Structure 1
Amino acid sequence: MDCTNGYVRVDASDDVAEIILDGETDLNTIDLPMSEDFAEAVAHVERGDYRAAIIRGADGTYCAGGDLSQDPEAFVKTVDVSIDAIIDIHRSGTPYIAAMEDVAVGGGLEIALGCDLRVAETRTTFALPEASRGIIPPAGAIRFLAQMIGSARARELLLTGRSFSAEEAAEWGLIVESAEDALASATELAETLTAQSPASITAVTKSLNEAYPAPISSAKWDLELARTLASGEDFEEGRQAFFEDRDPDF
C-alpha cells in the first residue's frame, strides 16, 4: 500500500507488515506530508490482523529526523502528527520492530524508541542533536531514554547532543542487536514474535506500558515546550547554522 503523499508505503507478507520510510530527501528527513503518510501507515497496520510490524527506511537509510527547512508552524504540526502515531505504536498490541541503517537521528530515532524492539546495522550513527538547534526532541525521546537507559545517560545524550554508535547503543540496551544486516535481523525477530501467543504479547505490552508513572502520552507536554522554542530566536539561529554548516551563536 502506498500512502497518500507517496513518502511511506506498507508491504505485507503473511503475518508481518513493513512500514517503509521513503522521503523526498536521501536521508528520509520528516516533513509534514511524510509525517501524515507515517500516521496513515500506522493506522493501516493497526486495522490489519498482523502479528508483527517492522519500520525501516528505503534504500539502506533509516531516518535523519525532522526537516529543518520547514517554517516553525509546519515543524510543530509535523511533530504533533508524529507523536500521535508514535503513541499508537507504543500502545499497540502488535509488536513493532525498528530496523535502523546508516542514520537514526532526532525524530527518526524517536520513532524507533516508540517501538517494542530495535536492531541496527553495525555502522549506524545515532544522535539527538536538538539542543544544538535551539529545540528539544519533542516526540517522546526524553521520556523513552530515561526509562530505557537511565536518567544519567539520557541527560548526557540529550544535553550534549553527541553522536553515538550501534556498539554503544547495544551496550546500554537501547537496541537488542547490532547486526551486519538490520532488516534480516528484524525479520528473524518478527518471525519469532509471530510464533508467540498474540494474547500474551498484548498482555506483556500492556503491563510494560503501565510500569512507569509518566506514560508516553504525556510527551504532548514536550510538544508545548517545542512550540514555544520553535518560535524563538535560538531555533532560528540553530536552523541557519545547520544549513550554513557552522557552529550556532546562541
Structure 2
Amino acid sequence: MECANGSVTVEESGEIAQITLDSSSEVNAIDLETSKDFAEAVEHVETGGYRAAIIKGSDGMYCAGGDLSQDPETFIQAVNVSIDAIIEIHQSGTPYIAAMEEIAVGGGLEIALGCDLRIAAAGTTFALPEASRGIIPPAGAVRFLAQSVGISRARELLLTGRSFSAAEAEEWGLIVESVEEDFSAETMKLAESVASQSPAAVSAITKSLNEAYPDPISSAKWDLELARCLASDEDFKEGREAFFEDREPEF
C-alpha cells in the first residue's frame, strides 16, 4: 500500500506490517505530507489485524527528523500530525519495532521512542539536537527519553544535543540490539519472535506497561505548545539558518 502523498508505504510479510518512510529528502526528513502519510500508515496497521509492525526508512536510511526547510507554522502542523500517530503507536495493542539505520535524529528518533522496541544497525548515529536549532523535541521525546535511559542521561543528551552511537544506545537500554550484519534479517527475526506470542497477552503486556509508568506521550501536546512559541522566536530562525549554512548558531 502506498499512502496518499507517496512518502510512506506499508508492506505485508505474513502477519507483520512494514511501514517504510520514503520522503523526497535524501535523509528522509519529515515534512507535512510525509507526516500525513505516516499517520495514514499507522491507521492502516491499527485496522489491519497485524501481530507486529516495523517502522523503517527506505534504502538503508532511517530518518533525520523534521524538515527545517518548512516555514515555522507548517513545521508545527507536521509535528502535530506526527504526535497523533505516535500516541496511537504508543497506546496500541500491536507491538511496534523501530528499525534504525544510518541516522536516527530529532523527530525520527521521537517516532522510535514511541515504539515498543528499537533495534539499530551498528553504524547508526543518534541525536536530539533541537536545542542547537532554537527549539525543543516536541513529539514526546523529552519524557520518553527520561523513561528509557534515566533522567540524568536524558538531561545530558537533550541539553547538549550531542550525537551518540548505537553501542551507547544499546548500553543505556535505548535499543535492544546493535546489529553488525544482516540488519533486515535480524529485524524481521525480532518481529517474528514478537508476532509468535499470544496476541491477547502481548496486547495486555503493552497496556500494563503503559499503566505501570506515567504515560509520557499524554503531555506531548503541552510540549507542542512550547515548540509553537519557540518556532516564532528569533532563536529558531537563527538555528535553522545555521543548519542550512553549515555553521554554528549564534544565540
Q: TM-score range by the shorter chain?
A: over 0.9
State how far apart, in whole Å, the 2-side matches of 1:220 and 1:230 are. 15
Q: Which amino acid aligns with 2:160?
A: T
Residue aligning to 1:208: 209
Q: Contact 2:65–2:107 at 8 Å: present in 1 too?
A: yes
State how far apart, in whole Å, the 2-side matches of 1:55 and 1:32 are. 18
Residue aligning to 1:27: 27
Deviation at 1:214, TM superposition (A): 4.4
Aligned with 1:6: secondary structure? coil
Residue aligning to 2:87: 87
Aligned with 1:210: secondary structure? helix
State how far apart, in whole Å, the 2-side matches of 1:114 and 1:150 are. 16
Q: Which amino acid aligns with 1:39?
A: A
State how far apart, in whole Å, the 1-side matches of 2:14 and 2:222 are. 38
Q: Contact 1:89–1:114 at 8 Å: present in 2 too?
A: yes
Determine what percentage of the aligned residue pairs are the same residue.
73
RMSD of the alignment, in Å?
A: 0.7
Q: Which amino acid aligns with 2:37?
A: D
- What is the correspondence of 1:1-250 to structure 2 with a 5 Å cutoff? 1-180=1-180, 181-250=182-251
Matched length: 250
Q: Contact 1:124–1:166 at 8 Å: present in 2 too?
A: yes
Q: Which runs of 5+ in 2 are unaligned?
A: none
Q: Which amino acid aligns with 1:236?
A: K
Q: Which runs of 5+ in 1 are unaligned?
A: none
Q: Deviations over 1:183-238 (max 9, x none)?
A: 22221011111111111101100011112234412111100000000000000000
State how far apart, in whole Å, the 1-side matches of 2:191 and 2:60 are. 19
State how far apart, in whole Å, the 2-side matches of 1:48 and 1:167 are. 34
Q: Contact 2:140–2:216 at 8 Å: present in 1 too?
A: no
Q: Deviations over 1:134-159 (max 9, x none)?
A: 00001011000110110000000000
Q: Deviations over 1:80-105 (max 9, x none)?
A: 00000000000000000011000000
State how far apart, in whole Å, the 2-side matches of 1:182 and 1:223 are. 34
**TM-score normalized with structure 2 length:** 0.98
Q: Which amino acid aligns with 2:246?
A: D
State how far apart, in whole Å, the 2-side matches of 1:215 and 1:138 are. 12
Q: Which amino acid aligns with 2:247?
A: R
Aligned with 1:30: secondary structure? coil
Which consecutive segments of 4 or more residues in structure 1 shift more than 3 A? none
State how far apart, in whole Å, the 2-side matches of 1:232 and 1:16 are. 43
State how far apart, in whole Å, the 2-side matches of 1:240 and 1:112 are. 27
State how far apart, in whole Å, the 1-side matches of 2:194 and 2:245 are. 45
Q: Which amino acid aligns with 2:60?
A: G
CA 1:203–1:214 in 2, change beyond 3 Å: closer, same or farther?
A: closer
Q: Which amino acid aligns with 2:79?
A: V
Q: Contact 2:129–2:161 at 8 Å: present in 1 too?
A: yes
Q: Which amino acid aligns with 1:195?
A: S
